């Protein structure tokens, strides 16, 4: 992942020179970007959208939601969001912080007594939000491409809870989906609700995200994207349907592009957390890392003195999925992309940046 973050940083920097010269937003140009990427990079289906000036100015799809059945990808396509689940979970934690139901510097064990204490130090909620807890990423390929069902988050945490930490908590950045699984379990304990019920009531419904939900393995959904991947040889094949119950709060949510734009709008309008909490959320931890800084659930891109202004966002990649969400805070603009093809993550990042360029 860190290499792809660097790729995004390069794309952002490379694009800045042209932003000041862009004309008014062109739907034709946006459509052209989608078609170009489908043809050039072997993406099966892709849907993207732009929110600007208080409204959705463009949404469209290219390619296929289901290649074999020749069903086109369109704005209704339901797709895995992958790691875009993480900022949603971060906001849930910060809502509970505002309600004084938890403290950011509380130890994990205050809410999850079954989580072992670690020799290298105490893990806090703040550490988990910033990916500086010392908890590692997937240890085995089978964990990333899981087919086993974990009925509860506690059972999912059992996969990794006894592993040694990579470093002392608060000492170094290590991106980890597992850390966000722990945060999801804390949401449940602090709120007294299941993760899904809490998210639906306090985030998705508040933002008007009527098509967003936890993906349940084996369940049938209307307009659900079929999963594909691009192999190292450049072939496009059907991807393995994995069970996301091992990582729901960090990568198990499905949505539509329209709903992701609503999520971005709710963030811009401070519908989900207070402005002061929002500023804390987008402040990086200060721990050095390669690529863009990471705050609480968000990567931070750009600066206020650049043509694009300050931007927060998150990308995602898992079986049958490559995604990107960008929120340009100073420009009040949201750009979202969902692709049903794994193995094209850098290209999805690039095309989302290209779409953003058309708005400024």
Contact call for residues 128 and 168 (beta carbons, < 8 A): no
The contacts of residue 191 (CB under 8 Å, 6+ apart) are: 96, 101, 198
State the burial class of residue 292 (Cβ atoms within 10 Å of its Cβ: 0-12, 13-18, 19+). Answer: buried
**pLDDT tens profile 76-104:** 999 999 999 999 999 999 999 999 999 99
With respect to residue 13, please indicate whether it lies within any of the assigned structural domains.
Answer: no
Q: Output the CA angle 292-323-300, nearest 5 degrees.
A: 20
Q: Which residue has the tokens 């940046």?
A: 353
What token pair was written down for 154? 């506690």
pLDDT of residue 23: 52
With respect to residue 211, please indicate whether it lies within any of the assigned structural domains.
Answer: yes
pLDDT of residue 147: 81
State how many domains the chain has.
1
Q: Which residue has the tokens 């094949």?
A: 237
Is pLDDT of 345 > 80? yes
With respect to residue 156, please indicate whether it lies within any of the assigned structural domains.
Answer: yes
With respect to residue 96, please indicate whether it lies within any of the assigned structural domains.
Answer: yes
pLDDT of residue 139: 66
Instruction: List the single range of 93-97, 146-150, 304-308 with lowest mean pLDDT.
Output: 304-308
Question: For 297, how many CA atoms within 13 A lie in the half-sphere containing its CB?
Answer: 26
Is pLDDT of 154 > 60? yes
With respect to residue 17, please indicate whether it lies within any of the assigned structural domains.
Answer: no
**pLDDT tens profile 5-22:** 444 454 444 344 344 445
Is pLDDT of 304 > 80? no
Mean pLDDT of 29-38: 95
With respect to residue 59, please indicate whether it lies within any of the assigned structural domains.
Answer: yes
Mean pLDDT of 39-60: 96
pLDDT of residue 360: 80
Backbone angles phi, psi at 335, to 5 degrees: -130, 130
DSSP 3-state helix, strand, coil percentages of the chain (rounded to 5)? 40, 20, 45
pLDDT band per the 50, 70, 90 thresholds, residue 327: very high
Backbone angles phi, psi at 213, to 5 degrees: -165, 170
Q: Could you tell me the CA-to-CA distances from 319 to 51, 172, 177, 178, 252 in Å, in that order?
A: 27, 28, 15, 17, 11
Contact call for residues 261 and 336 (beta carbons, < 8 A): yes
pLDDT of residue 141: 55
DSSP string, 9-49: HHHHHHHHHHHTT--S--HHHHHHHHHHHHHHH--SEEEEE
pLDDT of residue 306: 75
With respect to residue 16, please indicate whether it lies within any of the assigned structural domains.
Answer: no
**pLDDT tens profile 234-272:** 999 999 999 999 999 999 999 999 999 999 999 999 999
What's the chain's average pLDDT? 92
Determine the Cα–Cα distance for residues 101 and 279; give it in Å rounded to an integer: 20
pLDDT of residue 17: 39
pLDDT of residue 10: 41
Helix (H, G, I), strand (E, B) or coil at 127: helix
With respect to residue 15, please indicate whether it lies within any of the assigned structural domains.
Answer: no
pLDDT of residue 19: 46
Mean pLDDT of 148-164: 96
Higher pLDDT, 24 or 147: 147
Mean pLDDT of 28-46: 95
Contact call for residues 273 and 98 (beta carbons, < 8 A): yes
Mean pLDDT of 211-231: 96
Domain that holds residue 134: 2-8+24-357
Cα dihedral 267, 223, 180, 280, rounded to 10, equals -10
Return the CATH number at 210. Answer: 3.40.710.10
Determine the Cα–Cα distance for residues 113 and 98; give it in Å rounded to an integer: 23
Is pLDDT of 4 > 60? no
Higher pLDDT, 296 or 286: 296
Mean pLDDT of 103-108: 99
pLDDT band per the 50, 70, 90 thresholds, residue 29: very high
């Amino acid at each position: 992942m860190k290499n792809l973050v660097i790729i995004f940083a390069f794309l952002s920097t490379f694009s800045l020179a042209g932003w000041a010269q862009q004309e008014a937003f062109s739907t034709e140009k946006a459509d052209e970007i989608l078609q170009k990427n489908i043809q050039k990079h072997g993406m099966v289906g892709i849907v993207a959208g732009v929110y600007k000036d208080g409204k959705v100015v463009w949404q469209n799809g290219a390619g296929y939601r289901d290649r074999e059945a020749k069903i086109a990808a369109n704005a209704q396509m339901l797709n895995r969001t992958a790691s875009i689940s993480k900022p949603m979970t971060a906001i849930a934690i910060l809502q509970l912080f505002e309600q004084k139901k938890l403290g950011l510097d509380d130890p994990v064990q205050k809410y999850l007594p079954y989580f072992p204490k670690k020799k290298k130090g105490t893990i806090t909620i703040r550490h988990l939000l910033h990916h500086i807890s010392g908890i590692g990423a997937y240890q085995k390929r089978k964990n990333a491409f899981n087919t086993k069902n974990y009925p509860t988050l506690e059972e999912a945490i059992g996969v990794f809870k006894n592993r040694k930490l990579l470093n002392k908590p608060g000492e170094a950045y290590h991106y980890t989906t597992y850390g966000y699984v722990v945060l999801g379990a804390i949401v449940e304990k602090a709120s007294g609700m299941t993760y899904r019920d809490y998210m639906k009531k306090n985030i998705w419904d508040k933002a008007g995200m009527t098509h967003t939900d936890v993906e349940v393995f084996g369940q049938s959904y209307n307009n659900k994207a079929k999963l594909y991947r691009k192999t190292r040889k450049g072939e496009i094949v059907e991807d393995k349907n994995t069970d996301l119950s091992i990582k729901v709060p960090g990568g198990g949510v499905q949505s539509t592009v329209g709903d992701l734009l609503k999520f971005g709008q709710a963030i811009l309008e401070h519908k989900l957390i207070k402005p002061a909490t929002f500023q804390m959320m987008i402040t990086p931890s200060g721990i050095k890392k390669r690529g863009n800084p990471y705050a609480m659930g968000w990567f931070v891109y750009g600066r206020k003195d650049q043509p694009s202004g300050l931007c927060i966002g998150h990308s995602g990649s898992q079986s049958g999925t490559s995604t990107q969400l960008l929120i340009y805070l100073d420009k009040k603009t949201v750009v979202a992309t969902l692709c049903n093809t794994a193995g094209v993550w850098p290209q999805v990042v690039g095309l989302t940046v290209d779409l953003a360029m058309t708005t400024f």
